[in-house]
Structure formats: C-alpha cells, structure tokens
Amino acid sequence: MTIVDNVRTIPNQVLSQGNIFSEMILVASKLDFLLPITPIQQILLLLKFDWDTESLKNSLQEYADTNSFLLENGVCPENTVSVINNSECAICCSTENLLGLRCQHMACLNCWSKYLATKITSNQCLLRCMEFGCGMLISNEILGKFIFSSKLKVAHWGLLKDSYINSDSSLAWCNKKCGMAVRRSNCDTVTCSCGSKFCFLCNSDAHHPATCRQFQLWKEQRSNPDGMALSWILSNTRECPRCFVPIEKNGGCNHMKCTGCRHEYCWNCSQDWRTHFGGCKQPDINVAQTKLNSRANSDVFARYVSRFDHHKKCLEQEQQIRSSISNISGIKFRKTLDECRRTLMYTYVFGYYLKNGMYTSIFEKHQQNLEIAVGKLVSQWNVRHPGKIETQQIERRVWELVGNCSTLRKTLLDHCAKGAEHENLGGRQPNRELKRVVTPQATTNTVENVTPGTYDSVGFCIDIIFVIILIGVGYCLWSCIIF
C-alpha cells in the first residue's frame, strides 16, 4: 500500500516516441568503447540481452575478441546481405534471385518477406534467420532489404520500443494508448500529457487509496455477483509482484515470468529473480488473501457499490459543468473538487476491504467529514450570483471550503496509509454496530445528506429483546433474594 501524501510528490516524466528512441540510442552509445558496430546493431544486441548492459558486458569478458562475441550472439559486424542470381529457392522451389545473411542460408525475396511478416505480426521483435537452429539476427538496417511494407517496418519499431519500455521498471505506456510513455517518480499514480491519470503498477485508472489488489477484487466481484469465479481466482492464483495480474502455476520450477509485464520472479517468495540468491524465503501468506470469505454479505457490497457509483456520477456531471470555468478561483475549485470526488470514490473500495473495528470506525468518520464538506462546497459554488453585493463574501466562503476540503482529504489519506494491517480481502462483514446511512443525490447542486449513528432495524429489535431478557432475569434474582 504505497501512499506518499506526507512526502513531496515529484512530477512524473512523459516521453514521446522521439524521446523513447533517443533514450534507446543513448543506452546503446554506452557500448561504443566496447563494440565497434552501428547504433542499430548495438540496439539489436541489447535486445537479445533484455537491455541489461551489465549482463552484456559480463558475457563479453568471456570472449578473446569482440568479433567472436558478436558472431556467437548472431550479430554480423559487416551487416551485409548476400545475393545469388537466378537460383532455385530451397523453400518454394521457384527460380529467382536468392538473398541471405552471413550464415549463407538463402531464400527468395518472397519467402523472406512472408517469414518476417509472420514474425512481426506475432509480436516477435528479435528476428532471426529462417533456417532452423540458426541464431543469426536481422537488424533494422537489413530488414529494409527483405520487406517493403511501411506498416510492417513501423510495427517492428513499435515492438523494439515496447521491449525497451518493458525492460525498465520505471517506465510504462499510457493506459489510454495515446503513444506516450510515463516514467514514475516517487508516486504510483502518474499523469500523462493526454490528461490520463492512472496507476503505474496495474495500468488501471488511478484508484488511490485503494490498492491494486483491492481494486481488482472489486472489479471481479462486480462482474461476478455470485463470487464463484472470484473464489477460484483467489484460491488458485497469485498476482505478479509488479503488475498484480493473477497468474496460475500448473507445473515447472519456481522461476516465473509474467507474460504481461515480463517481470521475472520467484513463485514462492515473489522476490525479483535477478536478486534471488541464498535460497527462497517463503513469506507468511494471509489466508484472507487466497480464499474468498464465503460469509460476505451481498447487501453490504451493494451499499458500497451504490456510494461508489454515486460519486462517479457526480464526478462526470461536474466535469461537464466545470469545462467552461476559466478564472483562477474556478480552476482551483475544479481541481479540488475533482481530487475529492476521486478520493471518495475509491475510499469505498478501500473501506469495503477493511476489518470491522476502531480503525474502520475512524476511517468512516473521516470519509463522512469529507463527503459533507464536498457537498457544502458544491452548494456554495452554485449559489453564487455574479454582479451582486454578496459575491465577494460568497467567493471568500468558497475559498475557505476549498481549503477545508483539501485538509480533510489529506487527513483521510493519511489515515488510509496506516490501513495495511487492517485489510480483509474477503470483504466487509455485516454487524450490529452503528452504521451511516447515506442518501444518494441525483444531482451535484445540493449538500449530500449524511445521517450518522442510525441503527439498522434488525439490530434494534435484537437489542430490545436482549434488554427484556436481562430485566426478566434480574427480577427473578431479586425475587429469590427477597423471599
């Protein structure tokens, strides 16, 4: 549960396609003093070593000369294509000019084009000679002599960039697929230049303060009301430590590689495989994280979903209204209200996966305070009447409410930061404690009606029966003592 509200948040960096390519060239240039090859060939070699320059340098030290190292890893320093005129192709048996790499495995241009097109369309960026068992690699410089489709060339460049982004744990593509990449700073919630704000770890829309695991379980439970699919996922899978995608292990060793983010880790202890030394340290696994609590009450979940949807609807309506606001006070109001609405949305996800107790009671009180403050802020903003005498007073009141909302939001998030030990992934259980009954509003121009301290009817009846029994027992004891 990563929360950094007490730490100064550093803005994340957004990389364009050109920025990404420049970084790739910069990384490749670090090999200039070791390998006398072109930058494209350096990128090809880094691609084979998963962009791990240290691993490449260590491997290079095992060879007497650089040429032997390059040829052993399928990179030809000359970077040429051999041509044989009017010869029979061993694949399609047609008589044409044959092309081949240094390995001298020859084929016609049509066969090369089809082979490479198949590889690229199947998302393989490391292209090799078509001869079975041959490890000679095909660089982008040579690729242009085998295929002429601009779409395939662009697609291959995209695969190269994908490999670079996936190899760097601090980089991720924008979740809205706008073509930009984002470098994380010290916060898991990042913002792209297109306006998308998303979670760096799971690539979903920003869901702070809910954790990635909580948000995934929330979505699963919403899509599977009976809970059967969710129960199977919790019992038979474990999430990737990097992207939190559920993974099932049906055999083999503990060395796992996520097909989504390509992170390599140990199945038992979830440690990065590159630093997995000295044996495996099996952690204590919380049973609540692997099994669904069968006692979860669907009514409780429905109530939390209702509040989540209410704030989501308010957020959408308010975004349409605020799109015309351009003055300074309006921009501040818009930013604060947007942050508070999003926070309230996902506190219902966070709150659903908490154990009943004192921590949760305090959390709900902070949540309630922020809801009331947001309702007052919206109401005060909507009663402004530009041009009248009281406008300045109302404007001052809006600024006070904006500051109050920001303070209450920070207080709520600070409390959420301490919630890891109070987590219950089985979901909230129904109890007879005091509950808050919140009446959803259809619009955003009124204060939200939050009525704390209301007993549910079943709990009230049980309490009455319990009191009557106690009175009866007391009367019997009193009678025995007197007589």
Question: Which residues belong to the active site?
Answer: 253
CB-CB contact of 213 with 425 (8 Å) = yes
Q: How far apart are CA 202 and CA 224, in angstroms?
A: 20
How would you write 305-360 as a 3-class SS string?
Answer: HHHHHHHHHHHHHHHHHHCCCCCHHHHHHHHHHHHHHHHHHHHHHHHHCECCCHHH
Q: How far apart are CA 38 and CA 482, in angstroms?
A: 106
Q: How far apart are CA 124 and CA 159, in angstroms?
A: 7
CB-CB contact of 193 with 13 (8 Å) = no
Residue of 105, 113, 82, 107 whose CA lies nearest to 92: 107
Q: What is the DSSP string of 253-282?
A: -SEEE-TTT--EEETTT--BGGG--SS--P
Bridge partners, 15 (sequence order): 181
Bridge partners, 265 (sequence order): 256, 272
Q: How far apart are CA 480 and CA 483, in angstroms?
A: 5
Q: How far apart are CA 139 and CA 79, in angstroms?
A: 8
